[in-house]
Amino acid sequence: MNIEHKVNGPKQYSDEELIKSWPGFENKYTVVNGVQLHYVEGGSGIPLLCLPGWPQTWYSFHKIAPQLAESYRVIVVDIRGMGTSGKPEDGYDKKTMSKDIYDLVKHLGFEKVNLLGHDIGGMVAMSFAFNYPEAVDKLVLMDGAHPTEGMLQMPLIPTKGSFTDKMDVNMPYVWWMAFNQVKDLPEKILQDRFRYLLDYLFSYVMLDDTKMTDFEREVYASVYNKPENIKASNAWYQSFTQDIEDSKSYKPLTMPVLGIGSNSSYNYIKMGLPYLAINCKVEGIMDSGHYMIEEKPLKVLELVMNFLK
């Protein structure tokens, strides 16, 4: 089978160059569920699949994946529409994306896996757990859970005084949820200019955005500068209404679930997750914003490792 691999941006930001800083990991590509997936794999032992979120790629796990690989067989996946994975016209609802991951699990020969998802990756991981519970040992969700009808109550206009240069933990205004719903326009505005959005976003949602280095920002900008990549990643958001409909038929999860919330999401996860997962535990990293792996990697490692044990 011929696997197409298109390099995103300058060579120093390519999968081949970036993987060199992950000892023992390899880049791999395969086609499952009709879509090409790129993933990196390293370590040995019980499998742990990691799913990144917007607007990042597999590289977002670079601060914790090598350490996790000392105890687990770690596979970090560029989900459908991300990085050098395929970007088909459709299939961005989380149920279809979870089928991508399930078929990858079977391709790799696993019966059961641990799952760790951040942001959009958490939505896909939770959909996987809803649709294939027999294939999940433990589930970790970091600032990301399956879309529910609560999303429909998000304000279009922020409450007076709540929209400042940092996200308000009590009244978070996530304007990009609406912006990413728009078709055709974002890629025209942001083509070759995505770094502007990245810099604003990291400053707004992180407590200390210096923890997101210039190099990391350029890695992600090199991917999301391309209109086809912007379009594909926005499709994750445009499918939320279908995800919400799908969620109405799901039964609460019974496997062990750990929810990790940042300063802006902990209270929401603590309130909402017990309705979706019977056997769940919620931890907060209150001295970190949304990008916890960058701001507090040691704390993330501690919580994940203790839970998986």
State the 10-residue block means of pLDDT for the chain, 309 residues long: 57 96 97 98 98 98 98 98 98 98 98 98 98 98 95 93 94 95 98 98 98 98 98 98 97 98 94 96 98 98 97
CATH 3.40.50.1820 fits 11-308, yes or no: yes
In the prediction, which pLDDT does 1 show? 42
Q: Where are the domains of the chain?
A: 11-308
In the prediction, which pLDDT does 10 show? 83
| DSSP class per residue in the chain | --------SSGGGSHHHHGGGSTT-EEEEEEETTEEEEEEEE--SSEEEEE--TT--GGGGTTTHHHHTTTSEEEEEE-TTSTTS---SS--SHHHHHHHHHHHHHHTT-S-EEEEEETHHHHHHHHHHHH-GGGEEEEEEES-----GGGGG--SSPPTT--SSS--SSS---THHHHTTS-SHHHHHHTTTHHHHHHHHHHHH-S-GGGS-HHHHHHHHHHHTSHHHHHHHHHHHHTHHHHHHHHTTPPPB-S-EEEEEETTTHHHHHHHHHHHBSSEEEEEETT--S-HHHH-HHHHHHHHHHHH-
In the prediction, which pLDDT does 2 show? 45
